[in-house]
Structure 1
């Protein structure tokens, strides 16, 4: 069974360590743990992770955040991925740092990457793994915050949180969304 796991972020060295790129970081950690290397392909950086009897295409779109849907649509068609096997890993301001929430769908909550994916797919009913980045910013400071880098306190917990996100991605592919939500959303 094939799955498409999309980590949202922006390409370019100036964005590498930003909060908005946590989707890229989750996929980088998954790939690194299995000694995989991303290849520069159409619409993104891609590698394939085998987990037992499942094949996970890991995609980091190279379209910039607000055009992520183009990469998602292309790779879903290319790999013949059904909608229920799509998982988008995204940063979330509404969750404290490191809190992870898997959802079967829902609103875009002002996230431009999700907004474009929803627009291109014509539905909000695709799974997303929301990675909390916190919201410790002054009024009007949201853009600077999401495009800012993590502080020392967050970085101290980063590896453990990235590992947990990776476990959730694998569980989604192996055991399905309902089991994964029940098992992990409380942690």
Structure 2
């Protein structure tokens, strides 16, 4: 039996499908990658999980946590496929949970914008991010939500090394403040809509 196709057959979707959201935090599994800049998505989801007392369960293609909040169902996903193959996990879980493409929000780092900058978009280019490139390839479209957090390399370090380096102390001192902002943005995106979230949180 073939998987349900989220891109067509809209009449067969449950009436409340628009209330279910897949929130994806991109990152690499393993202790060596913990607290590295490229694991921004994992760090944000871990922060939300701690505040909401949310538990993750290791399942196919990643760790899953589910939360019911203000009439919405949030499915938080930390892919176990490594960043560069994140599309496999996202496609599997959006299909399994029958989630609309418009109800996906991917949280990731972005080298192109200054540290601390938050940018929410409902579609767009991958910006050179390999995880987003893979997502676009697997989903066959770039029409999915993404929340990018700036980690611009202001040093002379090689870019590949920079993203896999751990946060420095100056960054660590302020990260929790930014994570709270991202958490608020995630729930605003689902509860109030992308336009309001973009107006309130993009900087």
TM-score range, shorter chain: over 0.9
Q: CA deviation at 1:95?
A: 1.6
Aligned to 1:27: 45
Question: In structure 1, what is the Cα distance between the partners aligned to 2:127 and 2:156?
Answer: 19
Q: Are 1:31 and 1:49, in contact at CA under 8 Å, matched by a contact in 2?
A: no
RMSD: 0.9
Larger-Rg structure: 2
For residue 75 of structure 2, the aligned residue among 42, 54, 57 is 57
For residue 150 of structure 1, the aligned residue among 167, 171, 177 is 167
Question: In structure 1, what is the Cα distance between the partners aligned to 2:196 and 2:115?
Answer: 23
1:75-130 deviation line (CA, Å, top 9, x unaligned):
00111000000000010011211211101111111111000000000001111000
The answer to whether residue 131 in structure 2 is matched with residue 113 in structure 1 is yes
Instruction: Tell me the secondary structure at the aligned position of residue 119 of structure 1.
Output: helix
Structure 1: gaps of 5 or more residues: none
Question: In structure 2, what is the Cα distance between the partners aligned to 1:163 and 1:183?
Answer: 14
Structure 1's consecutive aligned runs of 4 or more residues displaced over 6 angstroms after TM superposition are: none
Aligned to 2:15: none
Aligned to 2:177: 160
Question: In structure 2, what is the Cα distance between the partners aligned to 1:53 and 1:134?
Answer: 37
Q: CA deviation at 1:151?
A: 1.1
Question: In structure 1, what is the Cα distance between the partners aligned to 2:39 and 2:51?
Answer: 19
For residue 36 of structure 1, the aligned residue among 51, 54, 57 is 54
Q: How does 1:1-187 map to 2 (within 5 A)?
A: 1-138=19-156, 141-186=158-203
Question: In structure 2, what is the Cα distance between the partners aligned to 1:51 and 1:24?
Answer: 20
Question: In structure 2, what is the Cα distance between the partners aligned to 1:34 and 1:84?
Answer: 24
Q: CA deviation at 1:11?
A: 0.3
Q: Are 1:6 and 1:72, in contact at CA under 8 Å, matched by a contact in 2?
A: yes
Question: In structure 1, what is the Cα distance between the partners aligned to 2:33 and 2:162?
Answer: 12
Question: In structure 1, what is the Cα distance between the partners aligned to 2:52 and 2:84?
Answer: 29
Q: Are 1:101 and 1:130, in contact at CA under 8 Å, matched by a contact in 2?
A: yes
